[in-house]
């Protein structure tokens, strides 16, 4: 019986035995990224200098900030002009969910619900803001292809952003673009250790890797531009575009505009 979200392959058993280790390797030394930069080459040069040789079964995790910079998704705004930033956020939004205390919670055209539609001023020159990539999955595929061209290897690739979470304090990295791996592992139909069939368990593997990659952040070690890192673990090379399907009723909570 097939349970994989991309329509192929069988869901692994929930009790699959001992797992292998997961290793997180920060890639440091990526220089300031400018529009039109060869981001793949910058990452590979920095990885080599960091003593990291990427393999096909690795996962390369890249913050969206350097992707947005390379793709020219930067806008000029007067420094400290909150209204100007909000105007850009509204242009990037498909729907305003809520406004409160100078903060806009918006749904982007990609389907993400996040602060200010992803418009962000961190790790930029004063007077600049970055926008999310137009198509983060396409950006991930393009960057992965460039890595393959440069190294002969095609690790899976995740583009991340930092999101807040409803009813939780603090932010965490999430995957906004994925290439070369299944972002969600579907365990429905498999059984647990006691033989009980799992009905709803789908694990957001790409989000988990994105969050883990935040733990050794290279941009706090002198990079200053956003960053990248590599993770090694037991992930498949089955492909699926993240956020391509409409939310199933009752599965995704859609906040009401208050």
Tens digit of each residue's pLDDT (9 = 90 or more) over 174-185: 999 999 998 999
CATH architecture of 74-132: Alpha-Beta Complex (3.90)
110/178 Cα distance (integer angstroms): 13
Instruction: Quote the pLDDT of residue 86.
Output: 92
126/8 Cα distance (integer angstroms): 48
Give the model's confidence band at 111: pLDDT under 50 very low, under 70 low, under 90 confident, else very high: very high
List, for residues 233-258, the tens digit of each pLDDT value: 544 443 322 222 233 333 333 333 33
Report how far Cα 115 is from the mean position of its chain's Cα atoms.
15
Who wins on pLDDT, 217 or 250?
217
Q: Is the pLDDT of residue 50 over 80?
A: yes
Instruction: Quote the pLDDT of residue 213.
Output: 87
Average pLDDT over residues 191-197: 90
> Distance from first CA to last CA of the chain, Å, rounded?
44
Domain boundaries, the chain: 1-72+133-245, 74-132
List, for residues 145-164, the tens digit of each pLDDT value: 999 999 999 999 999 999 98
238: which 2 tokens?
């089955």
List, for residues 201-215, the tens digit of each pLDDT value: 999 999 999 998 888
Helix, strand, coil in percent for the chain, rounding step 5? 25, 25, 50
Average pLDDT over residues 77-89: 91
118: which 2 tokens?
């992803």
In a 3-state reduction of DSSP, which class is residue 158?
A: strand
Give the model's confidence band at 19: pLDDT under 50 very low, under 70 low, under 90 confident, else very high: low
Q: Is the pLDDT of residue 32 over 60?
A: yes
Instruction: Quote the pLDDT of residue 166.
Output: 82
* CATH topology classification for 1-72+133-245: 60s Ribosomal Protein L30; Chain: A; (3.30.1330)
Q: Is the pLDDT of residue 229 over 50?
A: yes
Who wins on pLDDT, 101 or 238?
101
Percent of the chain at pLDDT > 90 equals 55
Angle made by CA atoms 7, 107, 166, in degrees to the nearest 5:
90
137/192 Cα distance (integer angstroms): 33
């Amino acid at each position: 019986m097939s349970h994989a979200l991309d329509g192929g392959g069988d869901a692994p058993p929930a009790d699959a035995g001992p797992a292998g280790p997961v290793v997180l390797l920060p890639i440091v030394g990526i220089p300031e990224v400018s529009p039109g930069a060869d981001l793949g080459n910058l990452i590979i040069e920095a990885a080599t200098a960091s003593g990291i040789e990427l393999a096909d079964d690795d996962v390369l995790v890249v913050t969206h900030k350097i992707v947005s910079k390379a793709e020219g998704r930067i806008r000029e705004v007067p420094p400290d002009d909150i209204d100007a930033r909000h105007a850009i956020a509204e242009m990037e939004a498909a729907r305003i969910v809520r406004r409160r205390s100078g903060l806009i919670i918006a749904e982007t055209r990609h389907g993400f619900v996040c602060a200010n539609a992803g418009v962000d001023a961190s790790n930029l020159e004063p007077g600049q803001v970055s926008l999310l990539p137009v198509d983060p999955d396409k950006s991930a595929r393009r960057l992965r292809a460039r890595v393959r061209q440069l190294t002969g290897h095609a690790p899976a690739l995740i583009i991340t952003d930092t999101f807040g979470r409803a009813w939780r304090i603090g932010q965490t990295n999430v995957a906004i673009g994925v290439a070369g791996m299944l972002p969600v592992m579907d365990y429905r139909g498999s059984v647990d250790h006691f033989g009980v069939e799992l009905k709803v368990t789908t694990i957001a593997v790409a989000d988990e890797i994105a969050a883990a990659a935040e733990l050794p952040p290279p941009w706090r070690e002198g990079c200053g531009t956003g960053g990248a890192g590599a993770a090694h673990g037991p992930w498949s090379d089955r492909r699926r575009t993240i956020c391509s399907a409409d939310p199933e009723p009752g599965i995704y909570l859609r906040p009401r505009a208050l």
